[in-house]
Amino acid sequence: MEHSSRYVIGIDSSTTATKAVVFDEAGHAVSEGRRTFPLQRPHPGWHEQNARHWWDSTRGALREAVSQIDATRIAAIGITHQRESFVCLDRHGSELRPAILWLDGRAGKQIAEHGSRSVHELSGKPPDVTPAFYKLIWLRENEPGILRDSAHVVDVAGYLTHKLTGEWRTSWASADPLGLVDMASFTWSRQLLDTVGLAEDQLPELVPPGTVLGTLSRDVAEELGLPADLPVVAGAGDGQCAGLGAGVTRPGLMYANMGTALAAGTWSENYRWSRAYRTLGGPVPGTYTLETLLSSGSYLISWFMDKFGAPPGTGLGLSGEEVMEAAAAKVPPGADGLMALPYLNAAQTPYWDPNARGAIIGWSGFHGRQHLYRALLEGVAFELRLTTDGVADDTGIPIERYLAMGGGSRSRLWTQIVADVTGRPVTVCAETETTALGAAVLAAAAVGLGGVHDIEETAARMARVKATVDPDPITRSRYEELYQVYRRVYPALKDLFPPLLAASGAADGKA
């Protein structure tokens, strides 16, 4: 029986790497391939990529993953990807300019001019730097020939689908982060397309997540060592797929992807829109994902280690992060009066303030790097409490627990701090590549792997957890008082950020 079991592949094309992970019917990873690719910053605030790298990395990752297993047992491929990123192509599928990425910040003027209540209600996205909608307006105003000459404007999944199958199709849960989809109907919005200057025939066909987009072309199958006519299945954006791979298939649960950014989302049967979250198409057709975002998640740890590092003379075979975690674990809750506002990459939910910056308050001569390290971990946890409570208040549905994944979820100290600050248990996912697993769940359900076509039932079978961290009642009480202070920090500082940036020249990209 074991020998005859079948596999599915989850492709996860993220901001700097593509991973191809082969999963069995129970959700265990059996092989993996990974390829990295570069990020270009041609001007301050700009972030671009050669879309060809999306495809080259996918080919390499697939070849590596497939070479380790019996490829004849693969039943389907699912796709997930970095959201909001897009590329403009000519009628031959060649790039007209580099792809513009989700973290690109060039469209501040367009956000200010077009970030209306109407756009938010239609697209489900509060005015912010991430949706492609505002960058497409920037193109219309600054590079008008690009949109005019574009035969295809596609998200990452749409681009990879064409390379794999020859079809110009994508899932509405993959494309809606672009900010061009009418979220009530999951169709391209005529109003939004007119605003950016695109026609619907320049965009890929929208299909529900879990739909077979097409089959692997014979040439690609031969090159990659895969079966010909292998079904390629529509996935969703990386956040929604991470939630599915974690088993978030009902209200009351929230995934917390503790990666470079901290994205946390919950399940909704109905369309809602609010500044308390951004609304995305759910991985199960007809549902929605309500997601909060803090762009400084484990980025803060990388920043800290890069700028400050670990104390000297503390090798012991430990990494710098392990040394700092051990030191920070000895610091009491509240970091002896030090508190961090974690907006090193601006503020998203619920403030959506591109001028917001990080802040550390409470410094004294007693504090050292271990205090700052703990304060950063606590700052992210306070922010997660703020945004989670905002979602619960808006929907009227309490959030019972977090399903955590990403690099930060491997930190026992950080997950305990999150549990203590929020008062919610943190259950850590067993599968490291939870996002790829979500795409694999959709692929498995599409072809009836294990005799099941239902997405939620398939997720229940394939999503696995390994440990739960419960709040400590005493520490929880201490953090409650500290949280009441934290809630007041941004409101107290927000009016100072714009003049600070202007006076220092940072508002012009000089710092």
Which residues, other chains included, contact 397 with Cβ-Cβ below 8 Å and sequence gap of 6+? 251, 252, 266
The average pLDDT across 290-312 equals 90
Burial (0-12, 13-18, 19+ Cβ within 10 Å), 488: exposed
The answer to whether residue 173 is domain-embedded is yes
CB atoms within 10 A of CB 2: 5
Q: Tell me the sheet residues that pair with 76.
A: 8
The mean pLDDT value for 198-227 works out to 97
Interval 415-437 mean pLDDT: 97
What percentage of the chain has pLDDT greater than the value 90?
Answer: 89
CATH number at residue 218: 3.30.420.40
Q: What is the mean pLDDT of residues 273-277?
A: 97
User: For position 510, what pLDDT does the model report?
Assistant: 43
Look at residue 410 and tell me if it is in a domain.
no
| Nearest in space to 439 (alpha carbons), one of 282, 237, 250, 260 | 237
Q: How far is CA 498 from CA 113, 294, 345, in A?
A: 18, 20, 15
Question: What's the pLDDT score for residue 313?
Answer: 59
| Average pLDDT for 209-218 | 98
Question: Could you count the other beta carbons within 10 Å of the beta carbon of residue 250?
Answer: 11
Give the number of domains in the chain. 1
Domain-located, residue 183: yes
Q: Is residue 321 part of a domain?
A: no
What CA dihedral angle connects 242, 246, 250 and 251, to 10 degrees?
-70
Is 470 part of a structural domain of the chain? no
Tokens of 166: 């020859």
In angstroms, the CA 391 to CA 291 distance is: 9
Q: Which residues of 263-299 are buried (b: 16+ CB within 10 A; e: fewer)?
A: bbbbbbeebbbbebbbbbbbbbbebbbbbbbbbbbbb
Residue 4, pLDDT score: 63
Q: Show Cβ contacts of residue 426 under 8 Å, excluding neighbours closer than 6 positions.
A: 256, 401, 402, 404, 409, 415, 416, 418, 419, 468, 469
Instruction: Work out the pLDDT band at 310, boundaries 50, 70, 90.
Output: confident
State the pLDDT at residue 144.
95
Contact present, 463 and 59 (Cβ < 8 Å): no
pLDDT surpasses 50 at 2: no
**Measured CA distances, 321 to 325, 427, 477 (Å):** 6, 22, 28
In a domain, 62, yes or no: yes
286 is a domain residue: no
Residue identified by tokens 């901001």 is 15
3-state secondary structure 238-295: HHHHHHHHCCCCCCCEEEEEECCCEEEEEEECCCCCECCEEEEECCCCCCEEEEEEEC
Model pLDDT, residue 508: 55
pLDDT of residue 181: 98
Contact predicate 230/216, CB 8 Å: yes
Query: For residue 1, is pLDDT > 60?
Result: no
Is 498 contained in some domain?
no
Residue 328 has pLDDT above 90, yes or no: yes
The CB density around residue 246, as the number of other CB atoms within 10 Å, is 31
For position 314, what pLDDT does the model report?
A: 57
pLDDT at position 511 is 47
Mean pLDDT of the chain: 95
Residue 311 pLDDT? 78
| Arithmetic mean of pLDDT, 440-451 | 96
Q: In this predicted model, which residue has the larger pLDDT, 3 or 500?
A: 500
Residue 466 predicted with pLDDT over 50:
yes
Identify the pLDDT of residue 132. 97
Q: What residue numbers bound the domain in which 229 lies?
A: 7-246+434-464
Mean pLDDT of 327-346: 96
Query: Where is average pLDDT lowest: 33-37, 95-99, 270-274, 501-505?
Result: 501-505
Give tens-digit pLDDT for 151-189. Answer: 999 999 999 999 999 999 999 999 999 999 999 999 999
Q: What is the C-alpha to C-alpha distance for residues 241 and 245, in angstroms, rounded to an integer?
A: 6
Neighbours of 407 (CB within 10 A): 17
CB of 3 closer than 8 Å to CB of 30: no
